[in-house]
Amino acid sequence: MKRPQNIAVLGATGSIGLSTLDVAARHPLRFRIFALSANERIDELAGLCQLHKPRYAVVARAAQADALRARIGEGATEILVGAPGLEQIASHPETDCVMAAIVGAAGLVPTLAAARAGKKILLANKEALVMAGPIFMEAVRANGATLLPVDSEHNAIFQCLPGSWSGDFAGNGVRRVVLTASGGPFRETSLAQLKSVSPEEACTHPNWVMGRKISVDSATMMNKALEIIEAHWLFGAAAEQIEVLIHPQSVVHSMVEYADGSVIAQLGNPDMRTPIAHALAYPERIEAGVGSLDLSRLGKLDFSEPDFERFPALRLGYRALAEGGTSPATLNAANEIAVGAFLDRRLPFPGITMVIESVMNEMPSLPSATLADVLNADAAARHCAAHHVGSMAARA
């Protein structure tokens, strides 16, 4: 019998990380938790280490390594620190599969390390691909890595496209891909009301329990903007081949339309364990702990067009894709700063997209040929965004 696959979970204490561990633990003969990482929640990481007994655990700082050691003792788990630790577990010769579930730009370098080491990558960390699409896809290609989408929409599209997809829309008779979007907690909130929504309201998603950053992204619909760019790189889809459709129930996870008029959709309960299990076991199917979809109980599924006026983030996503170069990295970095400021109550909700647009207007889109180009653009955009947050706060 084959030995279990060694899984490294980057961002193990997060929403996706914990769901990954839940699915993997249902199949101990298939998967072994080889490495875990966490940024802040050391107590939770200690618990996960005791449960899964990974070979490695990665923490952000030396002091946390001491705290974790005190909790789990000298045992089966070696503790590594910081970015070098993340790169080490992502590219370790015994790692078979990397779940990229760190949130934001912090996930880029370790996920790229996994691509360069030719690993099977389960990509939840969409920001990495948004920032460095061409570099990332080339690293996957050149090193024989396998990239499997975990984002529910992209996982759905992957399931609806023909097998061995190479990005040839015309040759495969594919007309377009349709990304569904729940519309978030403010789907029906007026522009006037959006000015006073709180971080707590923004983080209460109608269908999904997620980390705070992606919850705010769902509320602004920047999440969908990032997903448009993600779909471009994953599937080779041009901007005009990517459509966004509001679907409040989050049951149709996305669709592919073919030249003959057929539309193939993937449906399921809104539970990230489904796409995680699909990617973990691909091309096989395994139990994920997700119950059957009861369409008769749901009764109906609704669809409508997105409102680009209340949700200008969508427009910014298409703009960054059209500009190319460092523009998506600029968009992403400005968003991370603006979302952080909103969560800290230093910026009103509509200020998030205003800051991003100002940063995009100021920062030129440069060619992003190397990782250094991307990281420079990221740093410059953060600086510029922080400045805009400050001047907006001063005016308020």
Where on the chain is the footprint of Mg ion (CB under 5 A)?
Answer: 151-153
Question: Residue 279 or residue 389: which is nearer to ligand NAD going by CB?
Answer: 279
Q: Nearest approach, Cβ of 153 to Mg ion (angstroms)?
A: 5
Select the residue interacting with ligand NAD from 151, 257, 357, 378 (CB under 6 A).
151
Question: Residue 56 or residue 169: which is nearer to ligand NAD going by CB?
Answer: 56
Cβ–Cβ under 8 Å, residues 110 and 136 = no
The span from the CA of 208 to the CA of 215, in Å, is 9
Q: Which stretch binds ligand NAD (CB under 6 A): 34-42, 71-79, 243-251, 296-304?
A: 34-42
The CB-nearest residue to ligand NAD is 14
Q: Nearest approach, Cβ of 337 to ligand NAD (angstroms)?
A: 14
Angle in degrees, 0-180, between the axes of helices 313-323 and 327-343, rounded to the nearest 10: 150
The span from the CA of 8 to the CA of 35, in Å, is 4
Q: Nearest approach, Cβ of 318 to ligand NAD (angstroms)?
A: 19
Cβ–Cβ under 8 Å, residues 31 and 52 = no
Query: Residues binding ligand NAD: what is the number (CB under 6 A)?
Result: 25
Beta strand 56-59 with 78-81: parallel, antiparallel or unpaired?
parallel
The span from the CA of 309 to the CA of 125, in Å, is 27
Question: Residue 169 or residue 233: which is nearer to ligand NAD going by CB?
Answer: 233
Q: Which stretch binds ligand NAD (CB under 6 A): 6-14, 230-238, 245-253, 370-378?
A: 6-14
Q: Could you say which residues in the range 348-387 bind ligand NAD, by CB under 6 A?
A: none
Q: Nearest approach, Cβ of 181 to Mg ion (angstroms)?
A: 8
Q: Phi and psi dihedrals of 143, rounded to 5? A: -110, 10
Question: What does 126 bind: Mg ion, ligand NAD, none (CB cut-off 5 to 8 Å by kind)?
Answer: ligand NAD
Cβ–Cβ under 8 Å, residues 64 and 42 = yes
Radius of gyration of the chain (CA): 20
Q: Could you say which residues in the range 272-331 bind ligand NAD, by CB under 6 A?
A: 272
Cβ–Cβ under 8 Å, residues 56 and 80 = yes
Question: Residue 152 or residue 326: which is nearer to Mg ion going by CB?
Answer: 152
Q: Quick check: 11 binds ligand NAD (CB under 6 A)?
A: yes
Cβ–Cβ under 8 Å, residues 257 and 340 = no
**Looking at this protein, which amino acid is placed at residue 171?**
G
The span from the CA of 379 to the CA of 364, in Å, is 14
Select the residue interacting with ligand NAD from 6, 7, 8, 16 (CB under 6 A).
16
DSSP secondary structure letters along 191-221: HHHHTT--HHHHT--SS----HHHHHHHHHT
Question: Residue 174 or residue 231: which is nearer to ligand NAD going by CB?
Answer: 231
Select the residue interacting with ligand NAD from 177, 214, 334, 356 (CB under 6 A).
214
Q: Quick check: 210 binds ligand NAD (CB under 6 A)?
A: yes
For 374, the token pair is 């991307």
Cβ–Cβ under 8 Å, residues 365 and 325 = yes
Q: Quick check: 333 binds ligand NAD (CB under 6 A)?
A: no
Residues that bind ligand NAD (CB under 6 A): 11-17, 38-40, 60, 101-103, 106, 124-127, 151, 208, 210-211, 214, 272
